[in-house]
Amino acid sequence: MNPQTGQLLRNTLTLIVVVLVAWQALYWVVGDVALRSPLQTLAFAAKFTSTPQFAAHLAETSKAFGLALLLAVVIGLSIGFTLGASRFLSDVFEPMLVALYSIPKITLYPILLLAFGLGMSSKVAFGTIHGVIPIALFTITAVRNVKRVYIKTGHVMGLTPLDMIARIIVPAALPEIFAGLRIGFSLTLIGTLLGEMFASQRGLGFLLMSAIGLHNVDLIMTLTLLLTVFAGTASVVLLALNQRLYARS
């Protein structure tokens, strides 16, 4: 293990302990009406996650998130490489992407609902539009920042255009592209869950929304815990990989 990964692990453990302590303390102050203690939540979560009902909702969310992420990555990288390679195209389209990035996606939701209807496709679309822009923007910058001298070296060595992309541009741009993928991952997850919360009859987002409606504190706490653990784990793993990539350059 390299020292950076060790430090990341230490920071993560510290964060977990701090959150648990704060949670327990908050529970003592607020009481049973609005909160459950960490132990109670864990006990409920253990019971709830073994029900078939949970498995069905989890499968639904996994499918929506998987599809949304796949689309966001494929479309984001395609846009990124195309615009990054062409000064002209990026001059024209990059400002539009930045503008699109800064508007709250929720305002687009009614339009998406009209276009895709209730259910899987609008969830996927909502997840994708959250993730695709940061991936594209990071990729554009990454490709554009590839040192010119690497390209010249490739020319002198007689690389074909395909080899130039696969052997030089991609590896040179990878650390920065990966940073975009990391952000794209979390935003796609947020987008997918938001989609489920507002226009779906299935999935963890829907489950969370109905738990809020029924004031089912156990379920709210459990779902929040599960989602936090999942997003947190993924984020730490991706960050560790990213640091490995940067360490070399």
Partner 1 sequence: MNVTQTAQTLLSNQVSLRKVDKVFSPPGKPADAVHALGPIDLELHHGEFFAVVGPSGCGKSTLLELIAGLSTATSGEVAFEGKPIEGRIPDGVGVVFQEDASFPWLTVSDNIAFGLRRMKLPPGEKARRIEKALAMMGLVPFANSYPAQLSGGMRQRVCIARTLVTEPRLILLDEPFGALDQQTRLLMGDEVLNLWRKTGATVFLITHALDEAAMLADRIGVMSARPGRLIDIVETGWSRDRDSRIVQEEQFGAITARLWRSLRQESMKAIGKIEAAT
Return residues touching partner 1 (CB under 8 A): 147, 149-150, 152-153, 155-159, 163, 167-168, 171-172, 174, 247-249
Q: Which C-beta is closer to partner 1: that of 150 or that of 230?
A: 150
Q: Which C-beta is closer to partner 1: that of 158 or that of 161? A: 158
Tell me how far apart the alpha carbons of residues 124 and 246 are, in angstroms, rounded to a whole number: 31
Least separation, in Å, of the C-beta of 91 and partner 1?
13
Q: Shortest approach of partner 1 to residue 171 CB, angstroms? A: 4
Based on CB atoms, which residue is closest to partner 1, 47 or 147?
147
The answer to whether the CB of 156 falls within 8 A of the CB of 224 is no
Q: Find the shortest distance in angstroms from Cβ 241 to partner 1.
A: 14
Tokens representing 141 are 């910058």
Q: Least Å distance between CB 248 and partner 1?
A: 5
Task: Name, in order, each residue with C-beta under 8 angstroms of 186's C-beta and a sequence gap of 6 or more.
Answer: 231, 234, 235
> Of the two residues 104 and 158, which places its CB atom closer to partner 1 in the complex?
158
Say how far apart CA 232 and CA 9 lie, in whole Å. Answer: 12
Closest approach, Cβ 111 to partner 1, in A, equals 39
For partner 1, the closer CB: 181 or 217: 181
Burial class of residue 86, CB neighbours in 10 A (0-12, 13-18, 19+) = middle
> What is the C-alpha to C-alpha distance for residues 123 and 115, in angstroms, rounded to an integer?
12
